[in-house]
Amino acid sequence: MGGELCYLNENEAPPSKTRILVTFTDKSGFFITLWWFGYFHLLLKDENHPMTDSLGPDPFELTPSEFRSLFDGRRGSLKSFLLNQKNLRGIGNFYIQEILFQARLHPLHPIPSLTSADVNRLFTSIKAVFHESIRLGSSSYELDFFGKKGTYGLENLSFAYQDGASCPRCGTIAQKIKTGSTAQYICPRCQKCPQ
């Protein structure tokens, strides 16, 4: 459920919640912490592991046509599909709201009814949102390898997670909807769900 992997120089002590500490001969190293729960697996170089082998592709490694093919013959709703790491890795609930807003797609949009234009907008949106997060050092609740907090936060989102916010495109008030086990803010005018 999250954690940090951070560099540790020879004069630093690791945080108290360190779960793994690796030190090198020069006394530097790195530590790994967990926010809630998780586990670690140590693999040899080139060794396969069922958990990582079952992950979907990284969106940055896909061409537009490869991205479009991910949806061929799929059913279900768009948000559930995108959050499933076996379909596409790296998208979590924090990012999905902005991705779908920028793409003008409803989280419950049925996959079979996606048009080519919808998928193209979605692909562009995923890359744009992650490029912006990378530019800002990742999300504001994460640390990079050198322990620096990212600056991509709620203020960078168009209107996700904001009760009573107005859509920056059309002025419509945000609506909070249930999407399975999570909730999401949408613009009911810009993100209509086809029936």
N-to-C CA span, the chain? 34
Q: Are residues 133 and 166 in the same domain?
A: yes
Q: Are residues 118 and 182 in the same domain?
A: yes
Q: Are residues 65 and 36 in the same domain?
A: no
Concatenating the DSSP letter of every residue in 142-188 gives: -B-TTSPBP-B-GGGSSSTT-TTPBPTTT-PBPEEEEETTEEEEE-T
Total domains in the chain come to 2
What the block records as the tokens of 160 is 């996700």
Residue 195 lies in a domain: no
Q: Are residues 123 and 65 in the same domain?
A: yes
pTM of the model: 0.86
Q: Are residues 78 and 165 in the same domain?
A: yes
Structural domain boundaries, residue 137: 56-186
Q: Are residues 62 and 152 in the same domain?
A: yes
Q: Are residues 99 and 158 in the same domain?
A: yes
CB count within 10 Å of CB 93 equals: 14
* Partners of 31 in the β-ladder: 6, 21
Q: Are residues 87 and 135 in the same domain?
A: yes
Find out whether 127 and 59 touch, Cβ atoms under 8 Å: yes
Residue 194 lies in a domain: no
What the block records as the tokens of 65 is 């046509």
The vertex-80 CA angle with 152 and 50, nearest 5°, equals 90
Digit-by-digit pLDDT tens for the chain (195 residues) are 678 889 998 888 888 889 989 999 999 999 998 887 777 888 888 898 888 888 999 999 999 999 999 999 999 999 999 999 999 999 988 899 999 999 999 999 999 999 999 999 999 999 999 999 999 988 888 888 898 999 988 888 887 777 888 999 999 999 999 998 888 999 999 999 987
Residue 48 lies in a domain: no
Residue 46 lies in a domain: no
Residue 166 lies in a domain: yes
Q: Are residues 12 and 77 in the same domain?
A: no
